[in-house]
Structure 1
Amino acid sequence: MNTAVNLLAFLTGINLLNYMDRYVIAAVLEPMGRELSLSDAELGWVQPVFIYAYMVAAPVFGALADRFHRPRLVAAGIALWSIATAGAAFAGGFAGILVTRALVGVGEAAYASLGPAILSDCYPERERARSFTWFYLAIPVGSALGYAVGGVAAQAWGWRAAFLVAGFPGLILAWRMTRTADPPRGAMDTLEDRMAGSSFPARVRNLFSNRIWLACTMSYTAYTFAMGALSTWAPTLLQRAHGASPGRAGIVFGGLAVVTGIAGTFAGGILTSRLQGRFPDAGVWISGLTLIGAAPVVAFAIAAPTPGTAYAAFFFGMLLLFCNTSPVNALAVSCVPASIRATGVAVNVFLIHLLGDALSPEWVGHRSARFIAEGAGKGEALSKALWIAVPALAASGIILVVLARGFGARGAPPDA
């Protein structure tokens, strides 16, 4: 294999572990909450505290990455999130869980900012959607491993074991990353780069004058809001509303994420690659329409009366949701100059999480706690609380098809 393919495979493996460590906690919320006597409102903070640390650290790593050796910064992040994930096994209460999750967020911010920028420097613009398809397959597969590993380990050895199993493998990848070369920046681009050597404020101003980047960021903010709520609380909904055990809920939801994630991510990436030569906005339309179509399907899944209908609806909803991953991320990276690409990814990460999944899991938790206090059963309360994800998905698709069109076949963005 050539250097680009080797690096793509390695970065994809790291991304898989990244998402496994991020979502292992979702599989153990119920047993962890029982042992530590945590309310739904407190459990709702588990994901936001990760996101707050993640989004604050991302611009810092982005600014550093545009000037320094990127693989070594990534290696430091991998080591930090791996140690912190394993450290959650020793938490004695709410504070310990929050601290370890915050440190996971700081570590993962390094990879979120730098991974896509490194990968984009290995492939020309016309091939990025295809390469990003493989890279972003790690989202469903890694998330599914988090649910499955977390659920199975929790059922077999207790919830604390899940963090140990998920955490330690990352240290091997961190060591390997320190030995990886940093690819030349912008070598594969056709977009003229006028921002080399610019200050951080100038780079940020350039981003906010770029209509395509803004549209992708706004759309992905709404998408992340919805996915934050669903990914954190859906396994718990299956346990409460449909009587699934933690292990079964983790395996089923994880299995759905793997199958739909692979199929949806491949479908979105391959269709975009094949059609964008004739239709430059193909990726925008594919992403936007599948997001709009997913909204009613997810609404039915949340309120499904039986386990079978819930699983089927989640399957089709998640399949549609994963179609947008590769096209939107490839467009968000390609529409900015190489010299500020890591900054663009980092600021995007900051905004989509600040206004997205930093808010939604906690909001769902508070809404569920309020409905329980008003007399609703725990399953019914959580189902009603999760409805906030539905309009967010519809808005995400509408923003794309209205505002993100016009990047053009040559890779030059239109005037803002």
Structure 2
Amino acid sequence: MTEQQKNARFALAVLFGINLMNFFDRQIAGALGEPIRVEFGLNDTQLGLLATVFTLVYAFVGVPLGRLTDNWLRTRLIAIGVTFWSVLTAASGLAWNYASFMLTRIGVGIGEASCAPASQSLIGDLYPPERRARAMAIFMLGLPFGLFAAYMLSGVIAQAWGWRAAFFVACVPGLILAALVLLIKEPPRGAVEARTSLALPGSPFRSVLRIKTMWWIVLSGLLYNFNAYAVNVFQNPFLQRFHELGLKDASTISAVSLGLTGAIGLLLGGWLGDRLRTRANGRVLVGAFALLLAAPCVFAALQQPKGGVLMFTVLMATSSALSFAYYSTTYAAIQDVVPPNLRGTAVSLYFFAMYVLGASFGSTIMGALSDFFAHRAMINAGATEMADVFRASGLHSAMYVIPLLMLLCSGSLFGASRTIAADMRAMGSQAR
């Protein structure tokens, strides 16, 4: 094994760990949403707003950090970001009210904005195009495993020592990984390309936005992450209210159905994406068909009666396994159509649009819909005070928006499949 291969494998292992902690620290607030809501006296709209503010900060800070990724040492940028968000995660456990908790989550969002553009840019320069989807899949395994750990460990820790302790525990691994990332040898940009693509004329942002496939991919990210953030924030409360589970049991189900099974989709999606790269649109078609199949699974899961937890878990797990193929295929497709010296910029623009227009609204709109339907259920019952049964009914009704948006996301990837071949040729990265 050459030194370059050893460096690539070590880098991928460390970046996987960082991405795992990225989503672990991000999701703790969602996993512990119900006890946090109760302690601070929040409604569902306020609970969803926590994720919205986090996401907006993440998106806006990510754009300049994406440009910095293309012009500075990526390993150093990641190390600084991981250290910052790990410390602010621990600070979340010290919050004394809603406002202070939100401020610490804003800090976490600022730090985490450094991770994706720099990490994906590094992977693009460490792995050749024919192996890139699999490498991206391994990196993105941090997402399902991070969600799994956040739900599983947060529930156990919160039940034993209170919800604040979970935020303290999350700080330590991040600090260790921040030190390890500095041991990665920074590769030259475009080092593994068959031929280095040239940037398009004009500003870097305009150059990226001239790529038609990027518009379809951005639209898909907007729809996908609206759903993902809504589900991540509200599945645990849904299980606790509608199916009347305790925090530990609800967290275990979410850990498996939203986290662990997603690894299957990532790995299979990455494998299929690389196998079908002989066809220019092969990768995005894998993601499109996977989401097309995932939507009816979510609908069927929501159709389960009160207490039908086993079938709900199986159906949501199947949906996650299918929909997670989105990450390994779509993120690799971005690398296929964007020049090496613009990839950090492209990823930051993609994240900005999908977070500001999609993910940031997902949790808040879901919370507002939940409150609306809960209030309507209360009025229809002739009651004058909000009760848990109305909150359960309201959240149940609101969640039916999820399968609809999954179908629209699938449609946007089918749109990308019609433009990607021409864009790959233009970027000098036509499949061979």
Whether contact under 8 Å (1:212, 1:413) holds in the other structure is: no
Q: Equivalent residue for 1:288?
A: 288
Whether contact under 8 Å (1:185, 1:338) holds in the other structure is: yes
Whether contact under 8 Å (2:262, 2:317) holds in the other structure is: no
Q: Structure 1 residues 364, 257: CA separation in 2 closer, same or farther (over 3 Å shift)?
A: closer
Query: TM-score, with normalisation over the residues of structure 1?
Result: 0.94
C-alpha distance in 2, partners of 1:111/1:193?
A: 24
What residue identity is the alignment partner of 1:85? T
How far residue 414 of structure 1 moved from its aligned partner, in angstroms, is 7.9
Whether contact under 8 Å (1:191, 1:337) holds in the other structure is: no
C-alpha distance in 1, partners of 2:231/2:71?
A: 37
Q: Structure 1 residues 187, 223: CA separation in 2 closer, same or farther (over 3 Å shift)?
A: same
Alignment of 1:87-126 (within 5 A): 87-126=91-130
Q: Equivalent residue for 1:195?
A: 199
Tell which deviates more after alignment, 48-57 or 311-320.
Answer: 311-320
Whether contact under 8 Å (2:294, 2:322) holds in the other structure is: yes
Whether contact under 8 Å (1:190, 1:411) holds in the other structure is: no
Corresponding residue SS for 1:374: helix
Q: Given the alignment, which residue of 390, 396, 403 partners 2:409?
A: 396
- Report Cα offsets for 1:347-384 as digits up to 9, x if no partner: 11100101111001011111111222223521111111
C-alpha distance in 1, partners of 2:183/2:325?
A: 34
Q: Equivalent residue for 1:217?
A: 218
C-alpha distance in 2, partners of 1:20/1:362?
A: 21
Q: Equivalent residue for 1:43?
A: 47
Whether contact under 8 Å (2:157, 2:163) holds in the other structure is: yes
How far residue 411 of structure 1 moved from its aligned partner, in angstroms, is 4.4
Q: Given the alignment, which residue of 344, 347, 351 partners 1:342?
A: 344
Whether contact under 8 Å (2:284, 2:414) holds in the other structure is: yes
C-alpha distance in 2, partners of 1:403/1:262?
A: 24
C-alpha distance in 2, partners of 1:164/1:327?
A: 34
C-alpha distance in 2, partners of 1:258/1:358?
A: 20
How far residue 413 of structure 1 moved from its aligned partner, in angstroms, is 4.4
The answer to whether the aligner puts 1:130 opposite 2:134 as a matched pair is yes
The answer to whether the aligner puts 1:321 opposite 2:323 as a matched pair is yes
How far residue 387 of structure 1 moved from its aligned partner, in angstroms, is 2.0
- Report Cα offsets for 1:133-182 as digits up to 9, x if no partner: 11111111111111111111111111101111112321111122234332
What residue identity is the alignment partner of 1:361? S
Query: TM-score, with normalisation over the residues of structure 2?
Result: 0.91
Unaligned runs of 5+ in 2: 379-389
Corresponding residue SS for 2:113: helix
Whether contact under 8 Å (2:212, 2:419) holds in the other structure is: no
Q: Equivalent residue for 1:206?
A: 207
Q: Equivalent residue for 1:150?
A: 154
C-alpha distance in 2, partners of 1:276/1:194?
A: 22
Q: Structure 1 residues 312, 157: CA separation in 2 closer, same or farther (over 3 Å shift)?
A: same
Aligned residues: 411
C-alpha distance in 1, partners of 2:239/2:214?
A: 36
C-alpha distance in 2, partners of 1:408/1:122?
A: 23
C-alpha distance in 1, partners of 2:53/2:403?
A: 23
Identity %: 31
- Report Cα offsets for 1:221-278 as digits up to 9, x if no partner: 111111111111111111111111111111121022344212111111111222222x
C-alpha distance in 1, partners of 2:127/2:140?
A: 15
C-alpha distance in 2, partners of 1:209/1:16?
A: 33
- Report Cα offsets for 1:46-75 as digits up to 9, x if no partner: 111110110011011011111111111111
Whether contact under 8 Å (1:25, 1:150) holds in the other structure is: no
The answer to whether the aligner puts 1:227 opposite 2:210 as a matched pair is no
C-alpha distance in 2, partners of 1:85/1:414?
A: 40
How far residue 191 of structure 1 moved from its aligned partner, in angstroms, is 5.7
Q: Given the alignment, which residue of 352, 362, 365 partners 1:363?
A: 365
What residue identity is the alignment partner of 1:324? Y
How far residue 406 of structure 1 moved from its aligned partner, in angstroms, is 4.8
Q: Equivalent residue for 2:313?
A: 311
What residue identity is the alignment partner of 1:390? P
C-alpha distance in 1, partners of 2:109/2:423?
A: 36
How far residue 385 of structure 1 moved from its aligned partner, in angstroms, is 1.3
Q: Structure 1 residues 189, 406: CA separation in 2 closer, same or farther (over 3 Å shift)?
A: farther
Q: Structure 1 residues 414, 89: CA separation in 2 closer, same or farther (over 3 Å shift)?
A: closer
Whether contact under 8 Å (2:90, 2:168) holds in the other structure is: yes
Q: Equivalent residue for 2:67?
A: 63
C-alpha distance in 2, partners of 1:328/1:247?
A: 34
C-alpha distance in 2, partners of 1:333/1:259?
A: 26
C-alpha distance in 2, partners of 1:273/1:180?
A: 25
Q: Equivalent residue for 2:334?
A: 332
Q: Equivalent residue for 1:384?
A: 397
How far residue 45 of structure 1 moved from its aligned partner, in angstroms, is 0.9
